[in-house]
Amino acid sequence: MNERRRALLLLSIVLLALPVLSTCSKTGRGRSAGPAIVAPDYLKGVIETIAGQFETENKIRVRVIYESFDRVLARAEESGAELVLIGDADRDEYRRGLDSMIGDGPSSCPFRLSLIAAGRPDGPSCADVRELVDDAFHRIVMVDTLQYEGRLAKEALDRARVWKKLKDKLILARTSLQLVSYLKTGEADAVLALEVSLREEKGWTILARLDTDRRIQKRLLHCAGVTVASSYPETARAFLDLFDSRLCPMYKLPGITRNTEE
What's the pLDDT score for residue 219?
54
> Is 24 within a domain?
yes
What's the pLDDT score for residue 13?
46
The domain in which residue 15 lies consists of 1-30
CATH number at 75 reads 3.40.190.10
- The answer to whether the CB of 154 falls within 8 A of the CB of 146 is no
Q: Are strands 83-87 and 32-40 parallel, antiparallel or unpaired?
A: parallel
The residue ranges of the chain whose pLDDT is under 50 are 11, 13-28, 89-90, 106, 255-262
> Is 23 within a domain?
yes
Note whether 133 and 189 are same-domain residues: yes
pTM higher than 0.75: no
Note whether 213 and 227 are same-domain residues: no
> Is 256 within a domain?
no
> Is 258 within a domain?
no
Note whether 120 and 70 are same-domain residues: no
pLDDT in tens, 204-215: 999 998 876 555
Note whether 211 and 125 are same-domain residues: yes
Note whether 137 and 212 are same-domain residues: yes
> Is 259 within a domain?
no
Rounded to 5°, the CA angle 67-69-70 comes to 105
Q: Work out how many domains the chain is built from and give that number.
A: 3
What's the pLDDT score for residue 222?
65
Note whether 193 and 119 are same-domain residues: yes
Note whether 149 and 240 are same-domain residues: no
Note whether 52 and 97 are same-domain residues: yes
Note whether 108 and 131 are same-domain residues: no
> Is 94 within a domain?
yes
> Is 261 within a domain?
no
* Burial degree of 127 (CB within 10 A; 0-12, 13-18, 19+): exposed
Note whether 85 and 126 are same-domain residues: no
Tell me the three state secondary structure of residue 75.
helix
Note whether 107 and 224 are same-domain residues: yes
Note whether 64 and 119 are same-domain residues: no
